[in-house]
Structure 1
Amino acid sequence: MHKFAHILRLGLKELTSLRHDSVLLLFLFYAFTVAIYMPAAGSVIGVHNASVAIVDEDQSALSRQLAQALQPPEFQTPVLLPYAQLDQVMDSGQYTFVINIPARFQTDLLAARQPAIQVNVDATAMSQAFMGAGYIGRIFQRELQAYGGQSDAASKAPVQLTTRALFNTNLEGGWFLAVIQIVNNVTILAIILTGTALLREREHGTLDHLLVLPLTAMEIMLAKIWSNLLVVVLCTWLSLEVVVKGALGVPLSGSMSLFLLVTAVYLFASTALGIFLATLARSTPQFGLLAIPVIIPMLLLSGGSTPLDSMPQWLQWVMQGSPSTHFVSLSAAILFRDAGLSVVWPDLLALTAIGLLFFVIALARFRKSLAS
């Protein structure tokens, strides 16, 4: 019973220290509000509001039909340009796409002479150039098939493909990005908060005071874990309710309590990792250098930024040992697909096992560092 009381009081000490750290509190507020809202609301995956200009040398009904086919929200209303300004607007970067429809295009098409449309792309606009050119190609192909009377033949094809997007019918990239931002921020804070808290106590001499008390290394570790776990879980819940569901309007259909439980398990693993890194470092700057090559792969290779299936097979197996990989999978399954415990238990079990392993390793290293 005394051990539980020690862990509780040490954890309260950590919370009191956090309450008086205005810089860290401001960073917590930023990480779970602005850092979630701005990427999700401002970053668009795909073509959106791309600028288009058309040089219409044909001046036919078909050329006007092609221009009208490029509509918002993917494209801005096309601007008609004279041919003499084509090079000028491309050099100045005024438009992402400049389409040149040659003279006698409609006549040549009806005569089966296979005329060509020139699509000039400003490739410096990398986020939209490649996908936008594909969009324009498919839109024009559809319009030309309809104009040539091939739409009826296509509708009578023996096999037709019907695509349905589940859980995100409008393919809103910001929905998934908001949750991934929370996962990334939880990862960063879990490692940074516990690591810097331990090093700050060592640099200020507070850790030496704790060692003269009847406390064990496990009690000190568990106190740091539960206090930081409580803060980050509370911030995660508020961010999901206020920012993701409220400000961004993302319909999270899954169980919030199950997700917060998974977050707590993930924090148990990540904070143990942060303590382990802090025992290897002798100062806060050194801890920062050690944390960078650990945090970056956890963020980039966990399946949030790049699908896990797109990675080499050996890297997929390596990332199974990272708690962030399982946390990303659990987050998407619970929040978007409303998966229950009967579905996600394998990932949850793997996450728990990794957390216990990290805790045991960190505890052994922490005891060794205290003895030295």
Structure 2
Amino acid sequence: MSDDARNFTVAEDDHGIRLDRWFRRHMPDASFNIVSRWARTGQLRVDGKRVTPGDRVELGQVIRVPPLDVAAVAPTAKPKRERAPISPEDEEFIQSIVLHRDRAAIVIDKPPGLATQGGTKTERHVDGLLDGLYFEAEGRPKLVHRLDKDTSGVLLLARSAGAAAFFAKSFSSRSARKLYWALVVGVPSIEDGMIELPIGKQPGTGGEKMHVDEKEGSPARTRYRVIERAGNATAWVELQPYTGRTHQLRVHMAAIGHPIVGDGKYGGQDAFLTGGISRKMHLHARRLRVDHPDGSKLDISAEPPRHFTESLETLGFDRSLGDALPFDEPKFSETPEGKKKAESAAAKARRKERKGERRSRGSAK
């Protein structure tokens, strides 16, 4: 095998996707036929093992890509579109949300409503603004993980390929710790719990929506802790994902009957509160703690956006309680009894959802 081969570490955004889709995202010049030929001849490897284009890649795995034979690229292949120069206004904006910068990392406070990456009908996104964050470095910053468009808060960027690989390993080994704040509908009966429900793509949504899938879903674990409650109507909770599934926090909280306020996608109309509470998503990436390439710990927090802060005030929550809980591993034992309670709550939520669907079908004209 050629010494000119390149190695790429699978980032969190690409966890679980097919290898051929990874190439479409990151090496569009490598057609499916080229990738297939590399796989057949053993030149394409993942963690040193032979693979097929249909195999799925996981966070932290290393993809070995042989050098691309320019002559093998079809002459009709569309040239890669050049990025438009970033405007002075966008450069000022992206630099204004920087929380931390050093030789290896940049951390930004992503506002709600700004997508992390582009997609259908999404032209303005963090990835498209990264040209404004070169500073003194030669390379363009690289996304290490992502946040949903309507989720705000801490987002880590790597300033070199080496730093990106290092941070990706931290996420894949679960040594990186992410802490979110959320307002949820109702109050969980268990104040400190672990949700363990597998998540998969919901059929018929084109992969745009996820759901709890006991048979074919990927394992997913979320710890939640109640910070404070507003009667029985609303709770302010802390969420810590121990896996990185798409929409994991939103799916898990809705599954146990406590959807995130403003999350109509998973909570329906029940996710919206009255009394002047914003209809925006109330999910905020409050804090990230991750190992740094220089041997230290990177520990960064972001203040919640205005609509979240105003909702806390409207509901009478004590802002000083937000960081009162220790940022540590779960102290409670994950007993069979605790798991049974969580599973029972999830089953109850699913029965309620099915009952509502039957009622809707029965009333249809």
Larger strand proportion of the pair:
2
Return the index of the structure with the highest Cα Rg.
Answer: 1
TM-score of the superposition, structure 1-length normalised? Answer: 0.25
